[in-house]
Structure 1
């Protein structure tokens, strides 16, 4: 799996969480919008139902008054007023801006025909008692049509209200689902982080195991040879005794150094890169050429890990330069700050030499466990230990080299975004 793909896979849970939160927010807002639309529909429905009830009430009053007039022979004075109110309510219902949401085309036709009948036939007939029977028949027909119209408006009101409630409930369910999905994603992110921490713990154990094996292998061999050389009644060879004593002292030094690393590998133990550069300059005299801007010198890095790593890389570079017959050629230590995907910064450190360099085959094995290009009394990490320790700190380790042209070892180390200090990586963050 490529590094870019791994980066995207690390980001995917956070993108999913952001999308889920946005979708949930949108669902809640849409649900509120539908609730407002439902309230508006309810108000419109009440208006239509109220107008319809007024029309039916006026029709009942007019029919009653007309029959009373026909039975007594006396014209009721409020009859014309009631017909006028009936016409007003029917016209008001017809002119409602949203009435087309509640009436079918045939109901519009019934309403228009009833209004026309009242205007052209009912109102003129009220002036002559002889037309009361015809007027009563016309009003009865209008009454039937208005019952049809009222039934349609009621059915449409219920349908629209139910539709709005269903849409509101559907969006509410979507919002609940999105919240549940967000909770799942959050749990997934937590599990992902715990998995990364567990992998880094495992990386720490493997890096220290490889480091210990690399640094103790030759010393254990020296002690084993010394033990084999011992014979009953014979004094041991002074050179073998000296080698065994030296190996024991070096093993003790290695153990003390590893214990120090193990207990100091915490994010709270950080120092400015400048202090490590000063120590390296003192240890290696003037053989190091520093190319480090001020902002990089102020970056906080894990200590003493970085001192051990850079010291080992510089020693390797010095030996490569000496082996190439260029003892006066300096080793370059370069550092700079760059942007880190998807946000934040990282410190890029390079140790560059123009020594012997490495072939492609040697370069491929340079950071493998138990691989070494040199022997001797130097108690160092080796490229294997450097690579493993950088990985344990959450960084990356790269080697670029060409045979006869020199080597460049690059370390990419993540920094905290807010303070420039080290990120929780490797054993420190596990």
Structure 2
């Protein structure tokens, strides 16, 4: 607006020869504004050159003429050039302002679209995780039901056969021998124990009860003539674990170890528990080991121990059995490893996932 006023005054003074307007103040204001415009970083070389030229016109050419009152026609030509230069600068600034506004609007639109995309992706990922977890849960559940069904069939087969033999004697109207009667009564007791144990196993899938691992392992009992040692690392002593499942597995492994050391000179059983830190994995593993100083197993027996429901103590034993422990651990997404050396002893290692639980 200042350059317009100065140009207007010059036009009037070129006709009237009056020297009244405050040229010095207005021209100084124009020069100061040009100096400020030159600090704008987005101006190109052409625009900077136009500003330099306009400043030179105002300070060197127009100011002396306007103050002297002579040569208004020449000053008017300089003022018109300055007006044109500043008009071009103003047009360039206006175009830049519209570009910046457009970029800002694009940035806001892109940011909104990006957030919508991210939220959609997060929802999709969670959906996939939920579907995958449901499928994995269904698979685990089926394996669990299968293992329990096979366990029930394995553990009841011989007892049902004993009861059938006893009933055959009764149907033949013959008095059963005392040993057959005792076998039948024993079979009934064992079936009751088996059913009670299986009920505990089935309910354990829904039972959310947990217990500190240290207290659970300290509750394992062995005969008085057998030494049992606990080697539990501090970082797992208070770790909360599924009470029923872990207790059933460890108890059965200890019972197997007790049977292995009976009749040996050194009757020693050791239970170890420690945490395996996986630096390149999100989930840590809990390692529980039951070691004994028994006679150990040959490679042939060791191979059979990994087959479904193999037992070296068939008949009187009504616990889970070693291979049933393996099935139980598999249902908990864990692994079992057996290391045995004849004449030295056996170590059974149970590796369980913690699912980030501390």
**TM-score bin, normalised by smaller chain:** 0.7 to 0.9
2:269 aligned residue (327, 332, 350) = 332
Contact kept in structure 1, 2:27 and 2:63, CA below 8 Å: yes
The DSSP-based 3-state class of the residue aligned with 1:355 is coil
Q: 1:356 to 1:145 in 2, by over 3 A?
A: closer
Q: In structure 2, what is the equivalent of residue 91 of structure 1?
A: 35
Corresponding residue for residue 386 of structure 1: 325
Give the whole-Å Cα distance in 1 for the aligned partners of 2:316 and 2:21: 128
Alpha carbons 1:66, 1:79 under 8 Å: kept: no
Cα offset, 1:158, TM superposition: 1.7
User: What is residue 8 of structure 2 aligned with on the other side?
Assistant: 64
How many Å separate the matches in 1 of 2:245 and 2:10? Answer: 108
> What's the CA shift string for 1:72-97, capped at 9, x where partnerless?
23333434443333333323323x2x
Quote the Cα distance in structure 2 between the aligned partners of 1:417 and 1:320: 35
Residue of structure 2 equivalent to 1:350: 290
- Does the 8 Å contact 1:340/1:346 carry over to 2? no
Change (3 A) 1:159 1:302: closer
Structure number with greater CO (CA < 8 Å, separation at least 6) is 1
Distance 1:345 1:406, change over 3 A: closer
| TM-score for the superposition, normalised by structure 2 | 0.82
Residue 294 of structure 1 deviates from its aligned partner by: 8.5
Describe the SS at the equivalent of 1:335: strand
SS in 1 for 2:198: helix
Report the CA distance shift for 1:145/1:277 in structure 2 as closer, same or farther (over 3 A): closer
Aligned counterpart in structure 1 of residue 103 of structure 2, from 152, 163, 169 = 163
Kindly indicate which of the two structures has a greater share of residues assigned to helix.
Answer: 1
Give the distance between the partners of 1:118 and 1:303, measured in 2 at CA. Answer: 92
Partner of 2:41: 100
Matches within 5 A, 1:145-160: 145-160=85-100
Check the 8 A contact 2:295/2:344 in 1, yes or no: yes
Aligned partners of 2:209 and 2:243 also within 8 Å: no
Tell me how far 1:371 sits from its aligned partner. Answer: 2.4
Q: Distance in 2 between matches of 1:133 and 1:68?
A: 11
Could you tell me which residue of structure 1 aligns to residue 209 of structure 2?
Answer: 268
| Aligned mates of 2:29, 2:133 — CA distance in 1 | 75
Q: Which digits, 9 at most, give the CA deviation of each residue in 1:220-241, with x for residues without a partner?
A: 2223444455664544444434
Residue matched to 2:161: 221
Residue 275 of structure 1, CA deviation = 6.4
Runs of 5+ consecutive residues of structure 1 not aligned to the other structure:
1-56, 421-430
Question: Measured at CA, do residues 85 and 300 of structure 1 come closer, stay the same or move farther in structure 2, by a change above 3 Å?
Answer: closer
1:132 to 72, 79, 104: 72
Query: Pairwise CA RMSD of aligned residues?
Result: 3.3
Where does structure 2 lack aligned partners over 5 or more consecutive residues? none
